[in-house]
Amino acid sequence: MSRLVVVSNRVAPITEGEPTAGGLAAGVLDALKQKGGIWFGWSGEITDDAASAANAERTVGPITLFTVDLSRRDYDEFYRGFANGTLWPTLHYQVVHARFDWAEFAGYRRVNKLFAEALARLVHPDDLIWAHDYHLLCLAEAMRAAGLRNHVGLFLHTPFPAPAVLMTVPAHAELIRAMCHFDLLGFQTEADRLAFADYLLREAGGVALDDGRLSAFGRSVKTGVYPIGVHVGEVREQAEAPANQRYASRLRTSLMGRPLILSVDRLDYSKGLRQRFTAFERFLERHPQHQGQVVFMQIAPPSRGDIETYREIRRELEGEAGRINGRFAEVDWMPLRYLNRGFARNALMPLYAEARIGLVTPLRDGMNLVAKEYVAAQDPENPGVLVLSQFAGAARELDAALMVNPYDEVGVAAALDRGLAMPCDERRERHAAMLEVMRRNSLDAWRDRFEADLRGSVVT
């Protein structure tokens, strides 16, 4: 029987018998555990030169983990350069943060080729290959060049931008041509899928086939929408588990009965953190009855600390948090708690459950599983309120949330006021509606639908 081969930029650390971090790791691990297979990707190690790069193999139950090191040049050009300096901001409509260098694009293709050539030594002809995310847009093209004819699919966890935005990247045509070497392209939302189709049909001379596939560059590719989900029951169990209550208990005591507004984001310009801080300031200005009565806590673990843009974001947010607290704080109340650190998943779920409002306002996001985890963690008898950006992929499913435009600070402030005043019956009704959608579009459904469609795809 064919194996499932998962390819991602990084391979999640796995210890048999221990829980994983969720999202991609949880979804693919379930599939690999059921049927056995390979997880392949970068080890996270950087070597001085390509010649000293090492490969590693480790087996955990039925899963074999294969990793490769990257040279410093590969890391700088592929990871820091084109993937995160060009693609990440462009895919999130943040072109002001994007840069482009042809040498970095060459490095991006070189690492995709490195992955493909390593896979060529590992996979069997009937193996199913499932690649993940924006780091690997050129992988299938490199695999075809290496002689592999396996069914290969890509799931894009980020948004896919409108053609006019993508075309700000000088290598846009090369990227789209490479993506057409996949047999299946999966997107988070229909808007993302249509943006890709629009480029192919209007800018690349492609045609839509009768069976729903798209044809361009002498190939045909199937596209689909696969909204990633969460294990709803597991999240609620983690939120309630007595062993996970250490931080939640301390938080509850410190709040002294005040309602909590909670945001959890990786420190990134696409998350709208600066706009969110300003919206909270507007909330305190325009609704002074909440001064001294509510606490906003922002958890923002640092990321990509070796990239200057991210260091600037950290400095800016620290300054904004200090300024807002300096303006509004009292001797017994600090309105904004900014935590520039991460928490283990099992500790985070009880924190979600404590929050009266989950404030999730990215400027653009592929899905945003924080929104779904917040809803799943709530007590269904007395749930909190999700305030959600209309530009998060999750907004396509969780339309019972209070929807906001993250650029509208006054609108976000009004939603916070409404959420805090919302009666329990309305909160229950909205929560039940979102939970129903999330159970239908679960993590298992996401994985199983993509895998089934990839197995049924036609290699051309």
Residues belonging to the active site: 157, 365
Is residue 130 within 8 A of residue 160, CB to CB? The reply is no
C-alpha 377/C-alpha 388 separation (Å) is 16
C-alpha 366/C-alpha 320 separation (Å) is 27
C-alpha 430/C-alpha 398 separation (Å) is 9
- Relative to beta strand 55-60, strand 63-71 is antiparallel
Q: Report the candidate in 310, 224, 244 with the shortest Cα–Cα distance to residue 273.
A: 310
C-alpha 338/C-alpha 299 separation (Å) is 6
C-alpha 3/C-alpha 390 separation (Å) is 38
Contacts of 372 (CB under 8 A, 6+ apart): 229, 230, 394, 398, 438
Structure tokens belonging to residue 205 = 């001379």
Q: Report the candidate in 444, 459, 389 with the shortest Cα–Cα distance to residue 92.
A: 389
Is residue 231 within 8 A of residue 349, CB to CB? The reply is no
C-alpha 223/C-alpha 239 separation (Å) is 36
DSSP conformational letter for 191: H
For 197, what's the count of Cα atoms within 13 Å in the CB-facing half-sphere? 20
276: left (phi over 0), alpha (psi -120 to 50) or beta: alpha
Structure tokens belonging to residue 155 = 């799931």
